[in-house]
Amino acid sequence: MPSVVLCITGASGSLYAQTFLELAISLKINVDCIVSERGQKVLEYELGISFNKFKKHFEEGGVKFHPPQDFFSPLASGSVLNRYNGVVVLPCSVGTLGAVANGISSNLVHRVCDVALKERIPLVMAVREMPLNAIHLENMLKLQKMGAVAFVISPAFYNKPKDIKDLALFVVGRIFDLLGIKTEIYKRWKED
């Protein structure tokens, strides 16, 4: 059974993280989740529910949550993180992008990304920002050169999405593809 670490940061795009967790549970993917303090506030604002209610709902589905300041979490160690198929930061704030690109670990999200890079564990940084300035682009290039995937959240329209959930399914499906987890959750190019 695949295992993934999902990091939710303070960028807009909580629907993507919620969709990722829903699909992971339905696909029987083990998920450990870290939600930064800012990520918790954005999630509450965008989804209109308390973080505790969000957390409780997904814990009932088997998701394990780790406090964002817990540097003693097993996930902070390469010997444990090597058991995972990958780390996903969704949505990824440009602050998190900059911290990881420059080796600054001020919370567990940063540390887990740092460990993923040093252990060569697939790392997808799903950045939700526009427009991008030169610093953002340089940080994305740095991470790409280190082996991470600099993923700009950009839903497709060739699959003729009917609602906002279809847009989220496309993005999450592409992330699962990058982790080598094959699904049929979105319509691919020229697919009937």
Structure tokens at 142: 């740095």
Q: Which CATH architecture has domain 3-178?
A: 3-Layer(aba) Sandwich (3.40)
The Cα–Cα gap between 143 and 125 comes to 9
DSSP string, 2-26: -EEEEEE-SSS-HHHHHHHHHHHHH
**Contacts with 88 (C-beta within 8 Å, 6 or more apart), sequence order:** 4, 5, 6, 7, 20, 123, 124, 126, 175, 179
**Sequence ranges of the domains in the chain:** 3-178
Convert the pLDDT of each residue in 13-45 to its tens digit.
999 999 999 999 999 999 999 999 999 999 999
Q: According to the model, what pLDDT value does residue 192 have?
A: 65
Reply yes or no on whether the pLDDT at 187 is more than 80: no
Question: What's residue 191's pLDDT?
Answer: 72
- pTM for the model stands at 0.96
Q: CB–CB of 108/34 below 8 Å?
A: yes
- pLDDT surpassing 90 at residue 100: yes
> How many percent of the chain have pLDDT more than 70?
99
Task: Please write the tens of the pLDDT for every residue from 62-91.
Answer: 999 999 999 999 999 999 999 999 999 999
Q: Residue 120 gets which letter from DSSP?
A: T
Q: Which two tokens stand for residue 58?
A: 């997904």
What is residue 90's predicted lDDT score, i.e. its pLDDT?
Answer: 98
Over residues 129-153, the pLDDT tens digits come to 999 999 999 999 999 999 999 999 9
